Structure 1
């Protein structure tokens, strides 16, 4: 089972009693029998692609000939970090076919077929298979190159480094390394409807650079590096950065529209946007045909799997869908300028138009999302203050005169409970999340019970009797039950 940024499997194949030309013919025939698509062939070997199928990820197969042996290498073309042995199976399948052909093909066939493929061989000066293999130090340097900007891979490492830096700063400031709490995420700029709609629009962007723990960060950065390596060379710096930011905003707005009280954070919405851009490009002729087929199904199934997996709890699938759809739109918009690479004015016009559309769309969404939560929160604070005044009768001295006690119960206790009751009745008409509406219903029940209890206490004192004692105790138990239920719900 191979794992890594690009899972792979390598095995050497001895050229026993075979010339390099003969083996090239056999390898060419084997690849064709396996129905792999050849995209490169030279005296040194072959590069072919195994197309992606529903339950079979795609792969790039390199056959490199070196004197008395050939190196067979299969590398995943999908977004998987672990290949579950699939690359090894491909190499072993190739070996089986090579062995079969080697024992059945005649010398005359080898000669005639070599003459056929000879004209299609890439010249030595363009032979990428002749490049030296990486050393251990090259491989280490290669890993760190994922985080180093280059000419065609510039924006991606900057975004990755920025996400990592922000996470490190959060941890240094005391935020949990594994599972940050809600308040910490809000403090650092997570997306949350009550705050974002209350003038804190910048959370639409800042939340895309926050992560809910190290695992969340690592998974997202892997996906970002992978799509960045594939996509940024095609788009260039400006288009890639624009697409990332615009799809990130679109993802955040979608999340805001869908969720009432969900705290949202993470780069996955923007990353899904970049996968959407790439999917759009893969349906055009901008990318080489053989590679396009392998990547189209691979990326498509990766996206579908993650969307299905996102149905589970604690995953903001709304942001994923918003990012993906906006990415598709942006990807198709970019194809116009990508077909005219020298026309910078067209590129700027498209990016500017997409930016304006995103801003207008976000503003319209903001306008149509109800935001009665600030009103509700203010009313709950007022409810608590009034409740405190209504409960003050329990703090009266035991020797309080009867007239004074009755006056306090009637003109303060009962009066304030009626005020709280009217307040929650008003809040029942607000456009607030269902859990808060349910809480409002419980508070209404709570106020009614308090009123009944106070009225009985008043009668008991006024009539100087204990006959209401049992009923008062029943009300108190019901009141305590509601208090316990509300505490339990609010602690979740």
Structure 2
């Protein structure tokens, strides 16, 4: 960069979306520059031009010291409108610094999320590709479990993440925006906003799709973004026009891009995003106060109580359909819950069967002992997952009905075949042994059907 007596020359890389920067050189008459706005080490400068479209220069320096020296060399000409806007911005930031200089809660929330994630990684959940079943054990918002009585998952899921990329993106957005939002609302109101938006996001996620295994801070973060938007747009809060435009544009871009991306890709819980956003808009409107000493000096307990009561009422209304699902939804949830339990139970049953077969082949037990142990120890281990799946009340019209019937054939076939083997040995009946073989074949065919159904769902 060179600033001469009559011109301003700048060399550098122009940023290009989704591509490498392009090296460029520009030269402007010094008297064509006006309305120099500096923010830290970044500059925004207007340029006089014959074109109808306004021209401006945006660049950043390596340090604030360099920025200060450059600012002293640039023209000081300002239009009345620009000077007024800059004065209002300066007053706004001075009021913010004076009334709410720090944002401790944001950093505490980030620390809690990072500690939980570190503990999850140590516990074997996975750093990059998290095991969803293990994430459930840490408190994710999985419909069959949450709506099955584990309502605490609505809250704990706000601090659980699916891998390092997931938590890194969420914590970056929270760090970038949360500090400003906490200072605008105050720490206590910020907590109310964050928790209410997170809970609302979790509930809407279940109402949207109760079979999704959901986790992450994004619902609460969308609520903070909604709170920020409603704060700056409310004239009562006396936010300068330039600050309103900056945050309005950035928040709308953030919301629009993320919702579009969520609808265009699988595995993203837009229900939680939308629920958190709407909750943040509503709660932010109720909790916002003008940024002046008089308003902040008032306790305003009634307004906080009204916001808290309204939030509790809204959560209660959303809770009703979750606690009273339709018969179809309840059957699906029972089946999904059974699937979660049956996986480990199936492994236990298979291992018990294999261990007993190994003992028999090694001659460690007699034929009679083998039959008795089959009946008393192994068969009940197949009975347990069968009863879990059979308890789910699904009808032929339910999408999971074919899978349920295939699983009942598989689990029932394994159970029945082992029971028949035990009875055939006890009675020395070859006909029962043949029936056992038929049950084993049917169970194998059912297992193939299960694999086909699961493959088709992916």
TM range (shorter): 0.5 to 0.7
Pairing partner for 1:367 from 323, 329, 354: 323
- Does 1:30 find its partner at 2:40? no
Q: Which residues in structure 2 correspond to 1:320-339 (within 5 Å)?
A: 320-335=273-288
Larger radius of gyration: 1
Say which is worse superposed, 300-309 or 368-377, in terms of deviation: 368-377
| More divergent stretch after superposition (189-198 vs 427-436) | 427-436
Partner of 2:308: 352
Alpha carbons 1:428, 1:437 under 8 Å: kept = no
Q: Give distance in 2, aligned partners of 1:453 and 1:169.
A: 44
For CA contacts below 8 A with separation 6 or more, give which structure has more relative contact order: 1
Q: Paired residue for 2:228, among 272, 278, 289?
A: 278
CA apart distance, 1:441: 1.8
1:317, 1:260 → 2: CA distance?
A: 13
Unaligned runs of 5+ in 2: 1-13, 37-44, 59-66, 91-99
| Greater CA drift, 479-488 or 441-450 | 441-450
How far did residue 162 of structure 1 move?
Answer: 2.0
Cα distance between partner residues in 1 of 2:411 and 2:81: 90
Report deviation, 1:196.
2.3
Gaps of 5+ in 1: 39-45, 48-61, 72-113, 129-149, 402-407
Q: Which residue of 1 aligns with 2:405?
A: 441
Residues 238-290 of structure 1: CA deviation (Å, up to 9, x unaligned): 22111111100111112233334332211111111112222333443243223
Residue 206 to residue 378, structure 1, CA distance change in 2 (3 Å)? closer
Distance 1:342 1:37 in 2: 44
Matched, 1:264 2:214: yes
1:453: how far off? Answer: 9.4
Distance 1:473 1:353, change over 3 A: closer
Please give the per-residue CA displacement for 1:206-261, whole angstroms capped at 9, x wherever unaligned: 11111111111111111112222442232121221111111001111122333343
Q: RMSD in angstroms over aligned alpha carbons?
A: 5.8
**CA–CA distance in 2 between the matches of 1:161 and 1:31?**
50
Q: Secondary structure at the match of 1:315?
A: coil
TM-score, normalised on structure 2? 0.62
Which stretch of structure 1 is more off in the superposition, 24-33 or 208-217? 24-33
Say if 1:443 and 1:319 are closer, same or farther in 2 by CA, change over 3 A: same
Would you say 1:305 and 2:274 are equivalent positions? no
| Structure 1 position 483 matched with structure 2 position 433 | no
Quickly say closer, same or farther: Cα 1:432–1:243, change in 2 above 3 A.
farther
Find the counterpart in structure 2 of residue 192 from structure 1: 142
Residue number in structure 1 paired with 2:64: none
Give the aligned partner of residue 147 of structure 1.
none
Q: 1:302 to 1:256 in 2, by over 3 A?
A: same
Whether the aligned pair in 2 keeps the contact of 1:15 and 1:69 (CA below 8 Å) is no
Q: Distance in 2 between matches of 1:373 and 1:425?
A: 6
Change (3 A) 1:423 1:228: closer
SS in 1 for 2:213: coil
Q: Determine if contact 1:190/1:207 at 8 Å carries over to the other structure.
A: yes
Pick aligned residue for 2:268 from 298, 315, 323: 315
Matches of 2:82 and 2:252, distance apart in 1: 32
Q: Is the 8 A contact 1:190 1:206 kept in 2?
A: yes
SS in 2 for 1:206: helix
SS in 2 for 1:176: coil
Q: 1: CA distance between counterparts of 2:24 and 2:162?
A: 40
Structure 2 residue 112 is matched with structure 1 residue 162: yes
Task: State yes or no: 1:241 paired with 2:197.
Answer: no
C-alpha distance 63-118 of structure 1, shift in aligned 2 (>3 A) = farther
Q: Is the 8 A contact 1:152 1:236 kept in 2?
A: no
CA distance in 2, matches of 1:365, 1:273: 22
Indicate the SS of the match to 1:241: helix
For 1:211, which of 161, 164, 168 is the aligned residue? 161
Structure 2 SS opposite 1:246: helix
1:225 maps onto 2:189 in alignment: no
CA contact (8 A) 1:260 1:433 kept: no
Secondary structure of the corresponding residue to residue 310 of structure 1? helix
For the Cα contact (< 8 Å) 2:127–2:163, is it kept in 1? yes
**Alpha-carbon distance in structure 1 between the residues aligned to 2:397 and 2:211:** 7
Deviation at 1:330, TM superposition (A): 1.4
Q: How far does the alpha carbon of each residue in 1:383-422 deviate from its partner, in whole angstroms, 9 at most, with x for none?
A: 98999999xxx99x9x999xxxxxx9xx99xxx9xx99x9
Q: What is the match of residue 7 of structure 2?
A: none
Distance verdict in 2 for CA 1:183–1:15, change over 3 Å: closer
The answer to whether the 8 Å contact 2:143/2:206 transfers is yes
2:33 touches 2:47 (CA, 8 Å); kept in 1?
no
Report the Cα distance in structure 2 between the residues aligned to 1:270 and 1:352, rounded to whole angstroms.
16
TM-score by length of 1: 0.58
Counterpart for residue 91 of structure 1? none
